[in-house]
């Protein structure tokens, strides 16, 4: 991770095909295309790889989440349960529809704690959104059971976890809907892009229409298409999709490299008794894009993180103090900072997160260090890095 580290001839060829046709838009201009439909090709490949009936590509992972929620009819006042540890896009997509993000605690998986989800359910709850942060998953069996018992939608935010599996099934394919990001720093990238997957035909039909101004995409005359409902513009371009076509074909190779590098680092850190690794739910296999571990205390985690920086080990994150990924620095959500007026349903229903008690999340996140696994490292470079990490962590202890 990320896929841009290994850009090469395959990506250039796919992009050149689009440039040669001169058609950069995914819809229309049929006669000029020379048979090239890169967004469609990406969608077909993704659906096959993720073992789902349908896939729809959009402009970003944030767009994928927004379109997925909208496709299932989520809107004003509906509550969506999500974790305290994620990227800000998770709650942005919810708020964009006038729905209400309900944050709950994580556990040692660094993802949604099922017991916390159950406690947060109200009559307004419509969706449970586990976020498979840093390449690994929530306890999906438990969450699925909760959703089935309460007639809730299970939406997997798998934007950071493409290629991971749970009981043999690809992450994203287990819920009612699953979403991926293909932005510049993801395991496979389109530069900018995202996608949703589902086995529900109605959701798929809603998604491809909603993401293109409500066009029904019936017939071969775009100007004559009907608009069955309001929509917006979340289209992916053919240029971005072309990069994604090449990268998707290389996904398994990327995963193998990540697993090799991850394994070398993990085996080295396993020598340190005080280091405890994040829990991966039984039956799950992460995509090895990050190595996550806990130090004995928050203070020692901060010291170890600083030692790693001073040792020259880049790409290790202390998310507890991160502006983008942990609730503690989401002042724009807590203080409801918005350029325009927030919908009445949001203003009246959004919890007061300035008074929220997420101490359980804090005790996990304050002890956590998360290290990016790069694709471009040689095996020898990884071994050197492993030694540097061991030395830095021992120095902190």
Which domains, and CATH codes, for the chain? 3-250 (3.40.640.10), 252-396 (3.90.1150.10)
pLDDT exceeds cutoff 90 at 1: no
Cα dihedral sign, 202-207-209-214: positive
* CA distances (Å), origin 107, targets 49, 235, 251, 279: 30, 36, 29, 9
Alpha-carbon Rg of the chain, whole angstroms? Answer: 21
What is the per-residue pLDDT for 305? 98
What is the per-residue pLDDT for 251? 98
pLDDT exceeds cutoff 90 at 140: yes
- 8-state DSSP, 376: S
Share of residues in the chain with pLDDT > 70 (%) = 100
Going by C-alpha positions, the residue among 336, 350, 358 that lies closest to residue 124 is: 350
* CA distances (Å), origin 71, targets 14, 36, 335, 337: 30, 27, 29, 27
pLDDT exceeds cutoff 90 at 103: yes
Going by pLDDT thresholds of 50, 70 and 90, the confidence category of residue 232 is very high
What is the per-residue pLDDT for 274? 98
> Rounded to whole angstroms, how far apart are CA atoms 87 and 85?
7
In this structure, the chain runs to a length of 397
Q: Which residue has the tokens 């902190």?
A: 396
Going by pLDDT thresholds of 50, 70 and 90, the confidence category of residue 252 is very high
DSSP of 159-186? TT-TT-EETTEETTSSSSEEEEE-BTTS
DSSP reduced 3-state for 386: helix
pLDDT exceeds cutoff 90 at 357: yes
Catalytic residues, which ones? 186
Per-residue pLDDT tens over the stretch 35-71: 899 999 999 999 999 999 999 999 999 999 999 999 9
Going by C-alpha positions, the residue among 396, 384, 7 that lies closest to residue 191 is: 7
Q: For residues 258, 170, 81 and 134, what is the CA-based torsion angle, rounded to 10 degrees?
A: 0
DSSP of 221-236? -GGG---SS---B-PP
User: pTM (2 decimals)?
Assistant: 0.97
């Amino acid at each position: 991770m990320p896929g841009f580290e290994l850009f090469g001839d395959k990506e250039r060829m796919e992009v050149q095909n689009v440039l040669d046709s001169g058609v950069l838009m995914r819809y229309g201009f049929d006669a000029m295309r020379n048979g090239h439909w890169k967004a469609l090709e990406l969608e077909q490949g993704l659906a096959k790889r993720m073992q789902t009936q349908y896939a729809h590509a959009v402009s970003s992972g944030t767009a994928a989440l927004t379109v997925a929620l909208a496709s299932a009819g989520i809107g004003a006042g509906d509550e969506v349960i999500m974790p305290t540890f994620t990227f800000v896009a998770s709650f942005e997509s919810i708020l964009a529809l006038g729905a209400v993000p309900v944050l709950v605690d994580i556990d040692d998986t660094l993802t949604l704690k099922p017991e916390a989800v159950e406690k947060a359910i109200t009559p307004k709850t419509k969706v449970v959104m586990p976020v498979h942060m840093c390449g690994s998953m929530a306890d999906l069996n438990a969450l699925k059971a909760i959703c089935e018992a309460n007639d809730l939608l299970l939406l997997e935010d798998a934007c950071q976890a493409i290629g991971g599996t749970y009981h043999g099934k690809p992450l994203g394919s287990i819920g009612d809907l699953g979403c991926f990001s293909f932005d510049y720093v993801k395991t496979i990238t389109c530069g900018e892009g995202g996608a949703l997957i589902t086995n529900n035909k109605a959701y798929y039909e809603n998604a491809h229409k909603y993401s293109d101004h409500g066009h029904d995409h019936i017939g071969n005359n775009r100007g004559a298409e009907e608009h069955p409902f309001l929509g917006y513009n979340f289209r992916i371009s053919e240029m971005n999709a072309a990069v994604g076509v090449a990268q998707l074909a290389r996904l398994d190779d990327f995963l193998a490299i990540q697993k090799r590098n991850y394994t070398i680092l993990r085996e080295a850190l396993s020598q340190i008794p005080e280091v405890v690794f994040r829990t991966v739910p039984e039956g799950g296999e992460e995509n090895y894009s990050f190595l996550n571990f806990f130090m004995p205390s928050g203070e020692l985690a901060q010291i170890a993180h600083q030692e790693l920086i001073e040792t020259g080990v880049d790409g290790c994150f202390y998310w507890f103090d991160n502006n983008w990924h942990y609730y503690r620095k989401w002042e724009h959500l807590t203080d409801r900072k918005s350029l325009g007026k927030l919908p009445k349903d949001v203003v009246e229903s959004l919890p007061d997160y300035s008074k929220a008690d997420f101490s359980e999340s804090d005790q996990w996140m304050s002890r956590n260090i998360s290290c990016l696994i790069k694709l471009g490292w040689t095996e020898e470079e990884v071994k050197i890095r492993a030694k540097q990490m061991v030395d830095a962590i021992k120095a902190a202890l």
